[in-house]
């Protein structure tokens, strides 16, 4: 079966795939709660003859679907979680479907569906050639919590893969060669003694005082970490009434840095600051790691293969209606906002003149670090991995915005998803049909880049996903 036949299969099944993406967009589900999306993906794959596993401890919305047998084992990552408070209609102004409800402001309704479509299309090639080979689709929960793939990795889900591919909605059609920031997410809880704040303050030990002193210490720490590191926090529990010395208070921290080792160093210093704050206030502190993820190790060999297939497929084929909608959405943010977003993506200046990106771009961004985090990073330190972006949103659209949610439910998103599915399927075909040369090159690169730094889960064994 030829690559063109695989792409023709995707063309003929585009309505089915779009229906899956539409249903996921219309029923957005928060991280670890993606029961409808996960069930929809699992049922679709089972009907096609895939063997579907949903047996990950404490991860009911995670799945692995497999077809074929033997090496090479090729993986596709999918996601389907939404974001809180981003409910949005397909409209050029902020218009929630239901105020306060979640929405797909990162396009994961499209991300997972394109991966599913690529796996189904490539299945046709394995079945036709009747030679060894396995395609594996991963339905990954809770990317927005930076945890789903990390828990799956700790359970050994990716360790036997030969290569892994994925994509992400964005404003351009380009292979991502850049890295992302590694991260630790941790909640510190201080325990003190309650007392009447006016009549007996000397009897109290303020947990809130401890939180505030910790935050002061963390702010002084900023001067003594890498300029690319980020430390941010929010007080999640500051006590109750002002006239009661708070017996309990909590603060939630994110520590980010370009390398995993840097995060671990900052995290260790932050825990010492917390202990110091407890000592100063005569309180007690404990902390719970919520999530931890690696920086992204982009495999150049696989990235070049994705770029090749993006060019063979050709960029998303937008309609005049898509362009009109993009222009209207782009009118909702200022030129300076547009420039800031595209600067973060390392885009060349000429991109700023566009409303929709309708070409394939090549960037030399392998030395860059995108100022965000993703649990894709953990997979990239276990197996050779590459990813690309497709123009799912108008140029200058910020991720996690109502504009991104609107575009992800529109014809723009549909065209980008189809382009992404064909790119992924074409790259899978090439990895499968060239006698293993690209896989050998990708693995050799992976071994060079990870030498002396084997993957170790950032999550201790006792850390579990939230129960709901």
* Lookup result for tokens 């992924």: 424
**pLDDT for residue 281:** 98
Cα dihedral across residues 60, 63, 69, 75: positive or negative: negative
Are 307 and 175 spatial neighbours (Cβ–Cβ below 8 Å)? Answer: yes
**pLDDT for residue 290:** 93
Residue 369 has pLDDT above 90, yes or no: yes
Averaged pLDDT, 28-50: 98
Q: How would you label 398-425 residue by residue, b for 16+ Cβ within 10 Å and e otherwise?
A: bbebbbbbbbbbbbbbbbbbbbbbbbbb
CA distance 325 to 454: 46
Residue 251 has pLDDT above 90, yes or no: yes
Domains along the sequence of the chain with CATH: 3-180+295-450 (3.40.630.10), 182-292 (3.30.70.360)
Q: Are strands 73-79 and 163-170 parallel, antiparallel or unpaired?
A: parallel
Query: Maximum Cα–Cα distance for the chain, whole Å?
Result: 83
* Lookup result for tokens 């030498």: 451
Residue 467 has pLDDT above 80, yes or no: no
Q: Which class for 192: exposed (0-12), middle (13-18), buried (19 or more C-beta within 10 A)? A: buried
Count the Cβ atoms, other than its own, within 10 Å of residue 61.
Answer: 26
CA distance 195 to 243: 8
Structure tokens that stand for 203 in this block: 């009897």
What would the pLDDT profile of 389-443 be if each residue is shown by its tens digit? 999 999 999 999 999 999 999 999 999 999 999 999 999 999 999 888 999 999 9
What would the pLDDT profile of 157-196 be if each residue is shown by its tens digit? 999 999 999 999 999 999 999 999 999 999 999 999 999 9
Are 193 and 246 spatial neighbours (Cβ–Cβ below 8 Å)? Answer: no
Task: Supply the DSSP string of 351-415, one letter for each residue.
Answer: GGG-SS--S-B----TT-EESS--THHHHHTTS-EEEEEEE-S-TTPPSSSHHHHHHHTSHHHHH
**pLDDT for residue 370:** 95
**pLDDT for residue 452:** 86
**pLDDT for residue 466:** 83
Structure tokens that stand for 332 in this block: 């909702």
Averaged pLDDT, 12-22: 98
**pLDDT for residue 145:** 94
**pLDDT for residue 468:** 59
**pLDDT for residue 179:** 97
Averaged pLDDT, 58-68: 97
Residue 348 has pLDDT above 90, yes or no: yes
Write phi, then psi, for 40 (nearest 5 degrees): -65, -45
């Amino acid at each position: 079966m030829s690559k063109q036949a695989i792409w023709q299969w995707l063309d003929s099944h585009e309505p089915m795939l779009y229906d899956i993406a539409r249903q996921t967009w219309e029923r957005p589900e928060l991280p670890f709660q993606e029961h409808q999306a996960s069930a929809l993906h699992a049922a679709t794959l089972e009907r096609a003859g895939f063997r579907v596993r949903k047996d990950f401890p404490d991860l009911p919305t995670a799945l692995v679907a497999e077809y074929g047998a033997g090496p090479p084992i090729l993986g596709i990552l999918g996601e389907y979680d939404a974001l809180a408070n981003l409910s949005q209609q397909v409209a050029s102004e902020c218009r929630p479907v239901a105020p306060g409800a979640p929405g797909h402001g990162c396009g994961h309704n499209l991300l997972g569906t394109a991966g599913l479509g690529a796996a189904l299309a490539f299945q046709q090639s394995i079945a036709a050639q009747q030679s060894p080979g396995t395609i594996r689709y991963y339905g990954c929960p809770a990317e927005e919590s930076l945890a789903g793939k990390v828990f799956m990795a700790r359970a050994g889900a990716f360790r036997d893969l030969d290569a892994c591919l994925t994509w992400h909605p964005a404003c351009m059609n380009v292979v991502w060669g850049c890295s992302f920031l590694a991260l630790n997410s941790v909640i510190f809880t201080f325990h003190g003694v309650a007392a009447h704040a006016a009549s007996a303050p000397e009897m109290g030990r303020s947990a809130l005082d401890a939180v505030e002193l910790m935050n002061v210490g963390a702010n002084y720490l900023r001067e003594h970490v890498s300029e690319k590191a980020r430390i941010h926090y929010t007080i999640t529990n500051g006590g109750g009434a002002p006239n009661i010395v708070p017996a309990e208070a909590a603060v939630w921290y994110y520590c980010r840095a370009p390398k995993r080792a840097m995060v671990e160093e900052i995290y260790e210093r932050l825990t010492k600051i917390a202990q110091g704050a407890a000592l100063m206030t005569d309180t007690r502190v404990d902390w719970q790691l919520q999530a931890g993820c690696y920086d992204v190790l982009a495999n150049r060999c696989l990235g070049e293969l994705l770029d090749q297939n993006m060019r063979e497929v050709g960029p998303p084929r937008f309609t005049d209606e898509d362009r009109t909608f993009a222009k209207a959405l782009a009118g909702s943010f200022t030129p300076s906002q547009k420039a800031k977003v595209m600067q973060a993506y390392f885009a060349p200046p000429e991109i700023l003149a566009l409303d929709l990106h309708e070409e394939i771009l090549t960037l030399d961004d392998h030395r860059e670090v995108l100022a965000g985090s993703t649990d894709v990073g953990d997979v990239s330190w276990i197996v050779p991995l590459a990813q690309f972006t497709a123009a799912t949103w108008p140029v200058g659209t910020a991720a996690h915005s109502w504009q991104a949610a609107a575009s992800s439910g529109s014809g723009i998103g549909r065209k980008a998803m189809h382009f992404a599915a064909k790119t992924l399927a074409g790259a899978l075909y090439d990895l499968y049909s060239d006698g293993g040369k690209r896989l050998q090159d990708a693995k050799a690169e992976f071994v060079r880049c990870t030498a002396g730094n084997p993957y170790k889960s950032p999550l201790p064994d006792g850390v579990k996903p939230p129960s709901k």
